[in-house]
Amino acid sequence: METSKLFLLSSSLLLLLLATRPCPSFSERCNPKDKKVLLQIKKALDNPYILASWNPNTDCCEWYCVECDLTTHRINSLTIFSGKLSGQIPDAVGDLPFLETLIFRKLSNLTGQIPPAIAKLKHLKMVRLSWTNLSGPVPAFFSELKNLTYLDLSFNNLSGPIPGSLSLLPNLGALHLDRNHLTGPIPDSFGKFAGSTPGLYLSHNQLSGKIPYSFRGFDPTVMDLSRNKLEGDLSIFFNAKKSTQVVDFSRNLFQFDLSRVEFPKSLTSLDLSHNKIAGSLPEMMTSLDLQFLNVSYNRLCGKIPVGGKLQSFDYDSYFHNRCLCGAPLQSCK
Ligand SMILES: *[C@@H]1O[C@H](CO)[C@@H](O)[C@H](O)[C@H]1NC(C)=O
Ligand SMILES: *[C@@H]1O[C@H](CO)[C@@H](O)[C@H](O)[C@H]1NC(C)=O
Ligand SMILES: *[C@@H]1O[C@H](CO)[C@@H](O)[C@H](O)[C@H]1NC(C)=O
Ligand SMILES: *[C@@H]1O[C@H](CO)[C@@H](O)[C@H](O)[C@H]1NC(C)=O
Ligand SMILES: *[C@@H]1O[C@H](CO)[C@@H](O)[C@H](O)[C@H]1NC(C)=O
């Protein structure tokens, strides 16, 4: 009897203690160091509404925009997407040492440079800082984050050259630097990445010079170099043994003879429009399983080869050339 009474007393005492105990609550999984850093980030961003759930009295593993690792309970993901938020990426982001995913996206008032503090985050796999107003250079420190599989810095105000050291990333699946104000050439080193060959997205910049000679051996599945100021001979990139599927080289200053180019058999989409490409369409194009083709606005001549997919495209895939003729354009004289 006595013992059960005692038990009752002690358990109600415990309950009382629990109820009046200030936070963090009994069930909190969140690591206190991570919580402290997240609250610093919130403060540095001037307490935006999108982070309203970041309440110090609750478990930070339950907060919006973050995720905790299931076993270590360390913050491994920070994703801030499309909210009303102004200011710069806080340096404190670099103090979440177990981050694997870092995303700031569609935040038009996010300005300033990409902070060097991000270089501390060695576990990062996915970085997306895109559709923001970040400016300054593409930092070379990304090349030290060896586990990166995806780097997207597109739709920003980044300027300056592309750091060649990014080719040292051994696990990169895709590199998006498109829609910035990047200048200078495509680095030579991009002809050979340390491990996997990433999809390369460099469109809508002000890149200039020739494509590097090392691109002879570069075999990405997808490459978009459109809307730059690239020039010279693109034919070195193409060869029948590659496995490239989608390429967009449109709106540049490429100048070469297309007549003897051998395209990869795997090619499904080819955009060469708005360049200074001369010669004729090679006969081998009839053996390609193309779903998209645009060679308009060049200096091509001669008869469009008959067969394959070539007559399945409309007039506007071929128009505005010097003297290209035959279906779907007007017949050759
Ligand atoms: C961006 O800042 C401007 C000026 O302070 C403000 O009017 C606008 O609402 C902000 N937009 C967003 C999406 O935060
Ligand atoms: C960058 O800011 C300008 C205004 O300063 C705005 O017009 C533009 O949409 C913003 N860019 C992005 C990608 O949000
Ligand atoms: C990188 O990834 C590998 C394989 O997933 C993992 O074993 C390693 O611990 C990771 N390194 C870092 C620094 O996260
Ligand atoms: C970003 O670039 C756009 C277009 O060039 C410009 O209108 C805008 O003011 C720039 N924003 C910042 C924050 O530099
Ligand atoms: C090809 O490019 C030209 C020039 O940009 C454009 O006018 C035309 O609509 C494009 N055709 C196709 C099929 O994309």
Q: Do 114 and 132 meet the contact criterion of CB atoms below 8 Å apart? A: no
DSSP classification of residue 176: E
DSSP state letter for 310: G
Considering only CA atoms, which of 197, 247, 203, 245 is closest in space to residue 217?
Answer: 197
Distance from C-alpha of 58 to C-alpha of 111, rounded to nearest angstrom? 30
- Site to substitute for ligand 4 among 85, 89, 107, 133, most atoms within 8 A of C-beta: 133
Q: Which of 82, 86, 106 to mutate to test the pocket of ligand 1 (most atoms within 8 A of CB)?
A: 86
Ligand 4 mean position to 111 CA, how many Å? 9
How confident is the model over 117-131, as a mean pLDDT? 98
32-325 homologous superfamily: Ribonuclease Inhibitor (3.80.10.10)
CA 120 / ligand 2 centre spacing (Å):
29
pLDDT for position 5 = 46
Please name the residue that has the structure tokens 């923001």.
132
Please choose, from the candidates 230, 226, 223, 298, the residue with its C-alpha nearest in 3D space to the C-alpha of residue 264: 223
At residue 61, the 3 state secondary structure works out as: helix
Share of the chain above pLDDT 70, in %: 92
Ligand 1, atom 1: closest residue by C-alpha: 109
- Quick one: which atom of ligand 5 is closest to the CA of 313? 13
Minimum CA distance residue for ligand 2 atom 9: 108
In the 8-state DSSP scheme, what is residue 56? T
Over the chain, what is the mean pLDDT?
A: 92
Atom of ligand 5 nearest to the CA of 297: 4
In short, whether 147's Cβ falls inside 6 Å of ligand 3 is yes
The pLDDT tens digits for 266-286 are 999 999 999 999 999 999 999
Inform me whether the pLDDT recorded for 6 exceeds 80: no
Query: How many angstroms does the Cα of residue 28 sit away from the middle of ligand 2?
Result: 39
**Region for residue 251 given its phi and psi (left: phi exceeds 0; alpha: psi -120 to 50; beta: otherwise):** left
The pLDDT-based confidence of 160 (bands split at 50, 70, 90) is very high
* Category of 82 on φ-ψ map: left (φ > 0), alpha (ψ -120 to 50) or beta: left
Closest ligand 3 atom to Cα of 100: 14
Closest-lying ligand to the alpha carbon of 275?
5
The pLDDT confidence band at residue 186, using thresholds 50, 70 and 90, is very high
Tokens for 189, please give them.
């080193």
- Output the CA 157–ligand 4 centroid distance in Å: 6
For atom 14 of ligand 3, the residue with the nearest CA is 123
pLDDT digits (tens, 9 = 90+) for 41-70: 999 999 999 999 999 999 999 999 999 999
Mean pLDDT lowest for which of 19-33, 279-293, 298-312, 318-332? 19-33
Task: State the average pLDDT over residues 213-235.
Answer: 96
Is the CB of residue 231 less than 8 Å from the CB of residue 205?
A: no
Q: Is the pLDDT of residue 10 over 60?
A: no
Helix (H) or strand (E) holding 323: strand 323-325
Q: Which two tokens stand for residue 271?
A: 């955009």
Binding site membership of 123 for ligand 3 (Cβ less than 6 Å): yes
Instruction: List the chain domain ranges.
Output: 32-325
Q: Which two tokens stand for residue 67?
A: 């995720």
Q: How distant, in Å, are the alpha carbons of 119, 281, 328 from that of 299?
A: 47, 11, 17
Ligand at shortest distance from the CA of 125 = 3
Ligand 4: which residue has its CA nearest to atom 11?
A: 133
Q: Which pLDDT band, with edges at 50, 70 and 90, does 83 fall under? A: confident
Per-position DSSP letters for 77-131, written without gaps between them = EEEEES----EE--GGGGG-TT--EEEEEEETTEESPPPGGGGG-TT--EEEEEE
292 SS3 class? strand
Pair 318, 296: CB distance under 8 Å: yes
Can you tell me the mean pLDDT for 120-148?
97
Ligand 2 atom with the smallest distance to the CA of 106 is 14
Model pLDDT for residues 242-275, shown as the tens digit of each residue? 999 999 999 999 999 999 999 999 999 999 999 9
* Cβ contact 291:264 at 8 Å: no
Count of all residues that appear for the chain in the document: 333
Distance CA 196, CA 172 (A): 6
Structure pTM?
0.90
Examine the pLDDT at 14 and tell me if it is beyond 70: no
Q: Of 99, 147, 169, 172, which is best to mutate to test ligand 3, by the most ligand atoms within 8 angstroms of its C-beta?
A: 147
Residues with CB under 6 A from ligand 2: 108, 131, 133, 155
Counting ligands in written order, which one lies closest to the CA of residue 109?
A: 1
Q: Return d(Cα 279, Cα 299) in angstroms, integer.
A: 7
Round to whole Å and give the CA distance between 181 and 193: 23
Tokens of 155: 């739709």
Of 110, 128, 133, 180, best ligand 2 pocket probe by most atoms within 8 Å of the beta carbon: 133
